Structure 1
Amino acid sequence: MNTSALIHTEIQEKWIAKLDTIKDEFRAKAEYNDIHSHFPYENIEWLVNEGYTLLTLPKAYGGEGATVEDMVILQSYLGSIDGATALSIGWHLSVIGQLYEQQMWEPDMLDQFAEAVKKGALVNRAVSEAETGSPTRGGRPATNVVKVDDGFVLNGVKTFTSMSKGLTHFVVSAYYEAIDQVGFFLVTKDTPGVEIADNWNMVGMRATESHDLVLNDVHLPEENFVEIRGAGGKKPNGWILHIPSVYLGIAQAARDYAVDFSKTYSPNSIEGTIGDLPTVQQNIGKMETLLLSARHFLWSTAALYNNEDSHKVKWNETSASKVMVMNQGLEVIDIAMRIVGAKSLEMERPLQRYYRDMRAGLHNPPMEDMAYTNIAHSVLDHF
């Protein structure tokens, strides 16, 4: 991958140079972390210590003030190095970016939380539940909260809590019956009653350790009731593009592996390497075309968030970016595995991990059917 082609800003140049210094180390750990479903603690610690977790925090709060476009390009590159590390840290970057861009919390709470982030705090939203399925479908959470004299008491179980064992903070959705609304509550990991279920056992994105978050009579102060779902109207969220960015990187890694393999693999049944075969060349050309198409669409969508284009365009292109990257990325990995052949299934080679990790992305928001439906509604002027 030609990293010089990625760089458009000083932030991108700085972080691609930094990531280049540790890419071999991150890649070397990826196989073990995947096999053992082991969270990449050392990778995340390096990112925190180097300040990567301040990337999307605005400069006014002491962060780097990266744009959506900066984040997308850097997360694409990190995803090509280690998908599980990139997806894990991407949730934190996305939450921080949206919180501060849209000023979703009270000013004092935003100030306090910025200080925590500068000291190494890691956050993710905990919104999925077994009973409701994907939160993007709008189901009411079974997790509930009740008001008590000195705050709130929270009970429930959240699924797919990515980076669960590495997080310091969770933004938890819960139904608040007293106001018949879904609220969001800031929960720190060391609050009594907070437990990690240690039950993540998936074939893809194993190293994210996205265990269930169990909340048993978790007592919270009043100020930790930070949001009400839908308050202030729904706004386009470019920071969610961290998801397709990571999977674009994984597809790029599969392409790179297949190309390197084609340049060096020389069975004794042919002259030269398999890269000299017309069939392999056709497949490489198709892989590259699919990647170019997905990359340019995703990056141009991210660039929209640096200007004042219409919200409708932002909504549609954000949804389409995820669908396009996933579908074309899966095809890229399939072609890469066909080029490498049966060897692509060897556990010692990364292609089988790229395939399994890429499949996991189908179940990250937005879901394909929801994306198409929402795009259709906007085209039909249903909004």
Structure 2
Amino acid sequence: MTPEEVLPENLLAGIRSRAAGYDRDNAFFQEDLEELTEAGYLRLFVPESDGGIGLGLEAAAQCQRRLATAAPATALAVNMHLVWTGVADVLSARGDHSLDFVLEEAARGEVFAFGNSEAGNDSVLFDSRTDATPSADGGYSFSGTKIFTSLSPAWTRLGIFGKDPQAHEGEGELVHGFITRETPGYTILDDWNALGMRASRSNTTVLEGARVPANRIFRKLPVGPNADPLIFAIFACFETLLAAVYTGIGERALHLGVDAVKRRTSFKNAGRSYAQDPDIRWKVAEAAMAMDNLYPQLAAVTRDVDALVDHGPQWFPKLVGLKVNATETARRVVDLAIRVSGGSSYFQGSELERLYRDVLAGMFHPSDDESAHNTVANAWLGPLEG
């Protein structure tokens, strides 16, 4: 199915019509979620044989790009569910069926969320500030604080990880598992009142001995970077789907800017259209060329994931490079669109004003600018000496 078939214009129009209200009221995108669920959107990666749409990462990313042109916060939050189902799909394609249950449960309507981010943890997936305490039956109890837990009002399955510091003779071990909505021992704080991406309701989640039984523990990994397929799958899905959302923001901003330029006229030039102003035309062209560089990069990276291409040590530079390029390009394009649209875009309630706030969130998602540049430099130059 094409993105236009998955997200027909009437569905997209309804989602677009609600975005400003969600943002204004700092409200969760409940109606959007219900309509997307009804349309089967949360089953993008679920095989057709199980009632899903059966897309790969390339097609799913294009769907997310399209959704983000209507409602970036909705797309960003849905990303977290799609990351987990995408990870299960990417692993399965490589012969690892440890997360097949994620696709099976998604087919039954379960909603997955990503509960890995921690304040002050710049090691991301390679270490954790959350304690994972083992029990004799193979389960673990998790205690720690997870930030930016999008889909907080709606998830039924939350993927978390923490560190068992006593494992491997004190070297520690990172433990990954899922809790359910019914699991005792966690609290969702009502603390989401951010500058942008407000409808995502990315609340803080405090784990206070939340217990994961042995059959919901799906990975135990050493602390530090490693080549486990799970790490690749998470990075591949997280970075590319994130890039898709910000590509959609840039795309929408460019179209809004073009529409504004065509409408605006110059008083001093006897009502001549701003579309004839050389300086304005230069800015629109700059925005369009920036987006034209981004579209093929998103398509190429996601296509290579689907095709099982082996980029070896260059895979992570490609993934983080795409994310940074997408978020920074979108931010630049939104800025240019505002510059050519005039003062009306500065007023609260205009779509470009909302996109300006939404796009700033891109700099906070992993991998951040510094981490990404370090990853790419290490791949090309080797690690720093000493």
Distance 2:47 2:369 in 1: 31
Distance 1:333 1:68 in 2: 26
TM-score, scaled relative to structure 2: 0.88
Mapping for residues 245-256 of structure 1, pairs under 5 Å = 245-256=244-255
Mapping for residues 1-383 of structure 1, pairs under 5 Å = 10-16=1-7, 18=8, 20-59=9-48, 62-103=51-92, 107=97, 110-133=99-122, 135-136=124-125, 138-147=126-135, 151-179=139-167, 180-229=172-221, 230=226, 232=228, 234-235=231-232, 237-240=235-238, 241-270=240-269, 271-307=271-307, 308-380=309-381
SS at match of 2:135: strand
CA deviation after TM superposition for structure 1 residue 309, in Å = 4.3
Bigger shift: 269-278 or 146-155?
A: 146-155
Distance 1:212 1:41 in 2: 19
Cα-to-partner distance string for 1:223-257 (whole Å, 9 max, x where unaligned) = 12221245736436432200011011111111111
Structure 2's unaligned 5+ residue stretches are none
CA deviation after TM superposition for structure 1 residue 60, in Å = 6.0
SS at match of 2:176: strand
Query: 1:87 and 1:343, CA in 2 relative to 1: closer, same or farther beyond 3 A?
Result: same
Counterpart code for 2:142: L
Residue correspondences, number: 370
The answer to whether the 8 A contact 2:99-2:218 is kept is: no
Bigger shift: 261-270 or 80-89?
A: 261-270
Query: 1:105 and 1:42, CA in 2 relative to 1: closer, same or farther beyond 3 A?
Result: farther
Distance 1:131 1:254 in 2: 32
Cα-to-partner distance string for 1:273-317 (whole Å, 9 max, x where unaligned) = 222222211111111111111122222222222332423443322
Query: 1:70 and 1:192, CA in 2 relative to 1: closer, same or farther beyond 3 A?
Result: same
Aligned sequence identity (%): 24
Distance 2:301 2:142 in 1: 38
Distance 1:324 1:299 in 2: 13
Distance 1:278 1:231 in 2: 52
CA deviation after TM superposition for structure 1 residue 172, in Å = 0.8
SS at match of 1:140: coil
TM-score, scaled relative to structure 1: 0.89
Bigger shift: 232-241 or 155-164?
A: 232-241
Counterpart code for 1:12: P
Query: 1:326 and 1:114, CA in 2 relative to 1: closer, same or farther beyond 3 A?
Result: closer
Cα-to-partner distance string for 1:144-175 (whole Å, 9 max, x where unaligned) = 33315584332222111111112111011111
CA deviation after TM superposition for structure 1 residue 77, in Å = 1.0
Bigger shift: 80-89 or 143-152?
A: 143-152
SS at match of 1:191: coil
The answer to whether the 8 A contact 1:143-1:157 is kept is: no
Structure 1's unaligned 5+ residue stretches are 1-9
The answer to whether the 8 A contact 2:246-2:326 is kept is: yes
Counterpart code for 2:173: Q
Bigger shift: 269-278 or 360-369?
A: 269-278
The answer to whether the 8 A contact 2:294-2:325 is kept is: yes
Aligned CA-pair RMSD: 2.4
CA deviation after TM superposition for structure 1 residue 200, in Å = 1.1
Distance 2:96 2:292 in 1: 42
The answer to whether the 8 A contact 1:33-1:39 is kept is: yes
